[in-house]
Structure 1
Amino acid sequence: MTDPSTYKFNHTMLRVKDPKASLAFYQDQLGMTVLKTWDFPEAKFCLYFLAYDGPKALNAGKDWSDREGILELTHNYGTEDDAEYKVSTGNADPYRGFGHICVSVDNIDLVCDKLIDSGVKFQKKLTDGRQKDIAFALDPDGYWVELIWSRTPKVENVTDPSSYRLNHTMIRVRDPEKSLKFYQDVLGMKLLRTAEHEAAKFTLYFLGYNNDPNFVVNSGIGVHNFEGVLELTWNWGTEKDPEFKGYHNGNDQPQGFGHICVTVDDLDAACERFEKLGVNWKKRLTDGRMKNVAFILDEDNYWVEVIQNDVIKKHTN
């Protein structure tokens, strides 16, 4: 048996050109900690798993497989010395798809000032545009990192990175009805909040594994201070547009964003459940050499990795 209420939105994977530059940004500028590094010299790539792990972190001290809000950086050997190598950030046509990751912070004004002073480039500063409460910093590869206020009490001229959250990951979807059905009925996520922007003709859907019985959908309470949130962005009309060719999944060329990952209570049972639900597979457990990971495809062909939560149960493989 498998219980989707125990699942966790564990991590988001991004490919990076130069791990030294990326690690410096996410650690020194945004205050994340490297939890785990996996090097695969035979396959010529390395994985870095980062998260907020300080004294005020939401998942502090937990096993990496039993937590949410992890960022996986994938480095393929040699890209740092390849002048032609460049990732696709997912925000430029014709390769739009993945949009951004988001970090919620305790003092957004101070954090943005510090980043600007240290030379970090911005796609959107707090003072730009109509929305004065969000900003978008650019990491060394040009991925967008949204910055929002966590709604926790501000202390003037003070910020504590140990209280930050890797709040959400945004991907664009063609048909919200189909995507919501997949993430709710197949992956067991719950709808936390819906934000409709009529003037700009788009709607945002925020989902996650929230088991608080007192949580009220669309109350706005707490969501900014969560980790493990998935934001689906629907631009009105794409589901009915015969000319719309779909979104780029980040794994077709040119590559960038790789996947989101869900950890489950029983990997074999979860995959059996997915099979019965008729999911589209990218990789079953029995495929290839790695028998402890599976990948399913969502309605827009984004990859969803499925792995075992080792705290609940050790997988036999």
Structure 2
Amino acid sequence: MASEAEVVKVEEGENLLEWPKIDKRRFLHAVYRVGDLDRTIRFYTECFGMKLLRKRDVPEEKYSNAFLGFGPEDSHFAVELTYNYGVEKYDIGTGFGHFAIASEDVYKLVEDIRAKGGKITREPGPVKGGTTVIAFVQDPDGYIFELIQRGPTPEPLCQVMLRVGDLDRSIQFYEKACGMKLLRKFANEAYKYSIAMMGYADEYETTVLELTYNYGVTEYTKGNAYAQIALSTEDVYKSAQVIDLVTKELGGKITRQPGPIPGINTKITSFLDPDGWKVVLVDHTDFLKELEA
């Protein structure tokens, strides 16, 4: 029979697991490394129509970064590009899939990208067995962008796709640790893969995480190019407690205990999911202050 202390601990744990469901969370940005910052900024702004939101150089740490997206960072998802001085090439690995951009006319967007020298890796057309028009484009560093034809949307930068070794485990992890909802799950038996769309709102209205499981493949290489996604939270300390519980059940680990970043004072905590993909939780209020600085 469980002791009173053990019962209290279990009850606290159960209550704690409710926190991510009521926390104020959204996708903030995806962080990855590029070999020429100005070249990538030019490609994203000219070919995709993104806006350069902010740029900074940190010479004492020998890196520069830039944030780009389709709207202000306090309400939209962004990509954070990092250039490390002197490093021109990175290994993307086999696990990272793609980013996705929604467009009202994929055919026209592809022609514009082609005219500017962009590399088209899949010509626009309906998906196999469906009607949705898509295309694939490769950026100068080799990152793949899926272009998806949709009606008007408040968030064109709509997906980050990662490959995982156990789809049900990953769904549980992102539900419990991050408070995401399973928006859609789909199995393509003919091509031997399954996907799960995870997020905080309808996938046609906001950014989602697309998890892909290829039948029989349980491990992927991570490379050193893609870094992490960042999510907002109202309490990094309470969120870290939840992550500690969930990683003990499903795998993964905390890589940075909650607290302020030296010199910036923005509070964060970071962790790895069961497949080794990194997630950073950022204090919502601190993030907004950082944007105003």
> Tell me, what secondary structure is at the counterpart of 1:72?
strand
Mapped partners of 1:69, 1:313: distance in 2: 14
Larger helix share, 1 or 2: 2
Please state if 1:103 is matched with 2:98.
no
Q: Does 1:24 align with 2:3?
A: no
Q: Which structure's relative contact order is higher, taking Cα pairs within 8 Å and 6+ residues apart?
A: 1
Distance 1:75 1:107, change over 3 A: same
Q: Of Structure 1 and Structure 2, which has the larger fraction of its residues in strand?
A: 2
CA 1:163/1:307 → structure 2, altered by over 3 Å: closer, same or farther?
A: closer
Paired with 2:192 and 2:124, the residues of 1 have a C-alpha distance of 22
Q: Evaluate the alpha carbon distance shift between residue 40 and residue 146 of structure 1 in structure 2; reply closer, same or farther with a 3 A threshold.
A: same
Q: Percent identity?
A: 29
Residues 261-313 of structure 1, C-alpha deviations (whole Å, 9 max, x = no match): 11111222222332344461122135984763321000101111111112798
Deviation at 1:167, TM superposition (A): 0.4
Q: Which residue of 2 aligns with 1:282?
A: 255
- 1:56-115: CA deviation from partner (whole Å, max 9, x where unpaired): xxxxx4xx3x43421110111123xxxxx42223xxxxx310110000011111111111
Aligned partner of 1:82 in structure 2 is none
SS in 2 for 1:126: strand
Q: Which runs of 5 or more residues in structure 1 are unaligned? A: 54-60, 80-84, 90-94, 153-161, 211-221, 240-245
Q: Which residue of 1 aligns with 2:280?
A: 305
Secondary structure (helix, strand or coil) at the match of 1:183 reads helix
- Out of 53, 56, 66, the position equivalent to 1:38 is 56
Correspondence for 1:270 among 239, 248, 251: 239
Q: Work out whether 1:151 is the aligned partner of 2:151.
A: yes
Distance 2:171 2:82 in 1: 28
Q: State the partner residue of 1:248.
A: 221
Distance verdict in 2 for CA 1:183–1:177, change over 3 Å: same
1:293 is paired with a residue of what secondary structure?
strand
Return closer, same or farther for 1:163/1:186 CA change in 2, 3 Å cut-off. closer
8 A contact 1:47–1:74 mirrored in 2: yes
Q: Which amino acid aligns with 1:209?
A: Y
Q: 1:36 to 1:195 in 2, by over 3 A?
A: same
SS across alignment from 1:170 = strand
TM-score (normalised: structure 2): 0.81
Q: TM-score, normalised by structure 1?
A: 0.75
For residues 73 and 209 of structure 1, do their structure 2 counterparts lie closer, same or farther at Cα, with a shift above 3 Å needed? same
Residue 163 of structure 2 aligns to a residue whose secondary structure is strand
Deviations 1:124-172 (A, max 9, x none): 11159847721111111111011001234xxxxxxxxx96610000000
Structure 2 unmatched ranges of 5 or more: 1-15
Partners of 1:136 and 1:147 in 2: CA distance: 6
Deviation at 1:178, TM superposition (A): 1.0
Deviation (angstroms), 1:27: 1.1
SS at structure 2 position matched to 1:238? coil
Q: For the residues of structure 2 that align with 1:270 and 1:188, how far apart are their CA atoms?
A: 10
Q: Paired residue for 2:89?
A: 86
Are positions 1:180 and 2:171 aligned together?
yes
CA RMSD of aligned residues (A): 2.7
From the superposition, tell whether residues 111 and 288 of structure 1 become closer, same or farther in structure 2 (CA, over 3 Å): closer
SS where residue 207 of structure 1 aligns? strand
CA–CA separation in structure 1 for the residues paired with 2:77 and 2:122: 23
Structure 2 residue 166 is the aligned partner of structure 1 residue 169: no
* Amino acid of the structure 2 residue aligned with 1:147: L
Q: Which residue does 2:194 correspond to in 1?
A: 203
Task: Give the stretch that moved more between structures: 140-149 or 126-135.
Answer: 126-135
Q: SS of the residue aligned with 2:102?
A: strand
